[in-house]
Structure 1
Amino acid sequence: MPANVTIRSLAQQLGVSVATVSEALRNSPRVRPETRERVHRMAEKLGYQSNPLLGAALSAVRRSRHHGFSGVLGLVDVTIDEHTELMLFHREVVRGAAARAQELGFRTEVFWVGPKPPALSVTRLNGVLRARCIPGVIFLPFDRRQDFSAFDLSQIAAVGMDHRLLQPSLHTIQPDHYLSMRRALDLLTARGYQRIGLALEARKDERVDHKWSSGFISFFRVSGHTLAVPPLVTPKLNQKTFTTWFKKHRPDVIIGHEQAMIDWVEALKLRVPDDVGFFRINVTERSRPCAGLDLLPHRLGATAVETVVGMLHRREQGVPRFPLSISLDAEFVDGPTLRAAP
């Protein structure tokens, strides 16, 4: 094995230009997949190792000279019918991803997977990504569990944005729902609330691996505060179910995802926030001003892009042996649905 394998010596061995080897080692879509594979095989055979500090410096130099285009990153969402429209939260994730991708020399494109056109089948998506030499994919948060085991990731760097992706198991970027709930309860108890109620549809809690409800219950178990109101986690959260629970337990503040709860409280001749407070667990999708948690979808999208681009620079493709999870703390957003801080 040569003592000092360089990009130039790799190029000589392969009979290609130095630029081609450099681009191939960065998994650039400018290089044909078969050429990239040949370069990677030779680099591995000869024991080539890149210098990450030098690579970072050269990348900075390239960015200072011009805004180069490195390729497209795919953002994958799922639809159960022919409708392909992003939810508000997903739109912010996509905006954050697009903005960060542009800074790093990429652009993003949304791809829909589903049973009906214009959505693509998993097999068709694979073909499109391969034909267009798209090197990286981000799976957007899914409403239902999804199985992409038929998806070929052998030449793709990919991350997920929740644990609704059953297969394959990927690096994941997501809000820290559990810790964010506990910190929200710290804030609410500091405001003087003593009968804190949690009202959720079961599927909303399930899609975050029950971290909302478990964070709620564990707070009272370890904080010394009394769990005065049992959480309402129900298959269908409607006015009748909510009102029955509310009348029985009389919470002085409600944590929930359904802003209609404000109307349901006011229908009982109570005022928000004078009589009862309301705290929304995802303010991105609020329909009017309220206090709650900002799950930072813009930052989540940016972090997902940074992770994929880092994987591309390290030539990490396929299913990771040890999937990592990156969790972002939510931020508290004050609003007119809580009484003022003392």
Structure 2
Amino acid sequence: MIELGPSTCWKGRVGEKRIRLKDIAERAGVTPMAVSYALRGAPNVSEEKRRRILAIAEEMGYVPDPAVSRMMSYLAGRKGTRVFQNTLALINTSEDREFVEREAPLAAFLRSAAARAEELGYKVELFWYHQPRTSPTRLAGILKSRGIEGIILSSSGKADTCLDFDCSAFSLVALGDTIVVPRLNRVMEYHYNNALTLLQELKDLGYRKIGFVFNEEVQKMHARRHKAAALCHLSETLPECQVPIFEYKRWEDDTFASWYQAHRPEVVVSNRPAALEALGRMGVEIPREAGFAQLELLDEKAAVAGMRTHFDLLGSAAVELLVGQLHSRMLGLPSAPQTVKIEGSWRAGPTVRSLR
């Protein structure tokens, strides 16, 4: 039986010499286990000692041994154990304290992130950016004092959100487009491609006269990517099949009804169900008189055709991106922010039908 101890978990070179945790421990005057804890970000060593060990390890030129890391994870999985490393903070940046837990997509994101974090040896704890009597500076101090270096910033639910938060001591990943300051690595829906996929599905069903209904605030939150896809579609559509985009800040049934009666789209496409509900109040029979498809299915149980946005996959992707940054010791703002996009998938529903 081969025993995999702490001294075999890392390798590196100073010239031709292989760097072991034992070598780092001797230089730092600590035990190999203390070095292992420091490299994994575990809370078993003090912040001051951890930083000193990391500085020495970096100076000696260590790099992780991926083969041994995979073997250790495999053995831990066979034993049914999880090697706890540290806590990841998921910060609700909305002014609504219950926003993450109440909104179905964000709740799915949270559950997925927590599950993936556990698989990787972490746990996720929810914080609120707007906690009364807790300034952003104090929140950062609380996280530092607890040894939390990894942060996921949830969507704020509002476009152009700016946060006054010192990122220098943390690795961060943001969800979606709403947070514009600071500029961070992020995970998000593939809005433009999702819209193209939905349009192709509707065309395959025989729909040609497609009417788009957009909430202005939602479009700002998504950097108007859905609208961009809609405009491209209209530019390639025969004049007799073109329907002008209906945009609103505050919903008004009368205004929408006038647009619908004037243009009679074969199918209505929107981010939100307001248009579908209004069509019902108008007595329009769905899908016989008009179809409806939603660009973002916020409620997976709703009997509506549209795009599944896979916030569960976004949660896993956010954790994986963040843990990669932590392992690479990438703290602070990235020089060139990266974006991971998750493609949605079409879900057929009773609100559309074949016109062929």
Match of 1:172 among 177, 182, 186: 186
More displaced 10-residue stretch of structure 1: 221-230 or 71-80: 221-230
Residue 234 of structure 1: how far off its partner (Å): 2.2
Match of 1:261 among 275, 283, 291: 275
Q: Which has the higher contact order (CA 8 A, sep 6+)?
A: 1
Runs of 4+ deviating beyond 4 Å: 81-85, 222-227
- AA in 2 matched with 1:15: G
Q: Deviations over 1:270-308 (max 9, x none)?
A: 200011001112212378411111110111111111111
Residue 269 of structure 1: how far off its partner (Å): 3.2
Q: Deviations over 1:89-141 (max 9, x none)?
A: 11111111111112222211111111636xx4312221221121112111112
More displaced 10-residue stretch of structure 1: 295-304 or 262-271: 262-271
Equivalence for 1:316: 330
For the structure 1 residues 313 and 82, does the alpha-carbon distance in structure 2 shift closer, same or farther, using more than 3 Å as the test?
closer
Residue 227 of structure 1: how far off its partner (Å): 5.6
Asked if the contact 2:300–2:308 (Cα under 8 Å) also holds between the matched residues in 1, the reply is no
For the structure 1 residues 225 and 104, does the alpha-carbon distance in structure 2 shift closer, same or farther, using more than 3 Å as the test?
farther
More displaced 10-residue stretch of structure 1: 69-78 or 187-196: 69-78
Q: Is 1:302 matched up with 2:316?
A: yes
Q: Is 1:160 matched up with 2:174?
A: yes
Question: 2-side partners of 1:151 and 1:263: how far apart?
Answer: 40
Q: Deviations over 1:3-24 (max 9, x none)?
A: 4232211100001111111221
For the structure 1 residues 199 and 332, does the alpha-carbon distance in structure 2 shift closer, same or farther, using more than 3 Å as the test?
same
Match of 2:345 among 327, 331, 335: 331
Question: 1-side partners of 2:206 and 2:355: how far apart?
Answer: 9
In structure 1, the residue corresponding to 2:62 is in which secondary structure? coil
Residue 262 of structure 1: how far off its partner (Å): 2.4
For the structure 1 residues 330 and 188, does the alpha-carbon distance in structure 2 shift closer, same or farther, using more than 3 Å as the test?
same
Equivalence for 1:71: 86
Question: 2-side partners of 1:151 and 1:192: how far apart?
Answer: 50
Q: Is 1:92 matched up with 2:103?
A: no
Match of 2:95 among 64, 77, 80: 80
Equivalence for 2:10: none
Residue 58 of structure 1: how far off its partner (Å): 2.6
Asked if the contact 1:138–1:159 (Cα under 8 Å) also holds between the matched residues in 2, the reply is yes
Asked if the contact 1:256–1:280 (Cα under 8 Å) also holds between the matched residues in 2, the reply is yes
In structure 1, the residue corresponding to 2:269 is in which secondary structure? strand
For the structure 1 residues 223 and 99, does the alpha-carbon distance in structure 2 shift closer, same or farther, using more than 3 Å as the test?
farther
Equivalence for 1:45: 59
Alignment length (residue pairs):
339
In structure 2, the residue corresponding to 1:22 is in which secondary structure? helix
List gaps (5 residues or longer) in structure 1. none
Q: Is 1:139 matched up with 2:165?
A: no
Match of 1:107 among 123, 132, 151: 123
Equivalence for 2:8: none
Question: 1-side partners of 2:213 and 2:322: how far apart?
Answer: 36
Asked if the contact 1:82–1:116 (Cα under 8 Å) also holds between the matched residues in 2, the reply is no
Asked if the contact 1:27–1:315 (Cα under 8 Å) also holds between the matched residues in 2, the reply is no
Residue 185 of structure 1: how far off its partner (Å): 0.3
In structure 2, the residue corresponding to 1:108 is in which secondary structure? strand
Asked if the contact 2:272–2:296 (Cα under 8 Å) also holds between the matched residues in 1, the reply is no
In structure 1, the residue corresponding to 2:177 is in which secondary structure? coil
**TM score, norm. by length of structure 2:** 0.88
Equivalence for 1:13: 27
Q: Is 1:54 matched up with 2:68?
A: yes
Match of 1:277 among 291, 314, 317: 291
Q: Is 1:194 matched up with 2:208?
A: yes
- AA in 2 matched with 1:95: R
Residue 211 of structure 1: how far off its partner (Å): 0.5
RMSD: 2.3
Residue 151 of structure 1: how far off its partner (Å): 2.1
Equivalence for 2:258: 244
Residue 29 of structure 1: how far off its partner (Å): 2.8
Asked if the contact 2:294–2:304 (Cα under 8 Å) also holds between the matched residues in 1, the reply is yes
Residue 39 of structure 1: how far off its partner (Å): 1.1
Asked if the contact 2:173–2:186 (Cα under 8 Å) also holds between the matched residues in 1, the reply is yes
In structure 2, the residue corresponding to 1:160 is in which secondary structure? strand
Question: 1-side partners of 2:292 and 2:284: how far apart?
Answer: 12
Question: 2-side partners of 1:151 and 1:183: how far apart?
Answer: 37
Question: 2-side partners of 1:20 and 1:152: how far apart?
Answer: 28
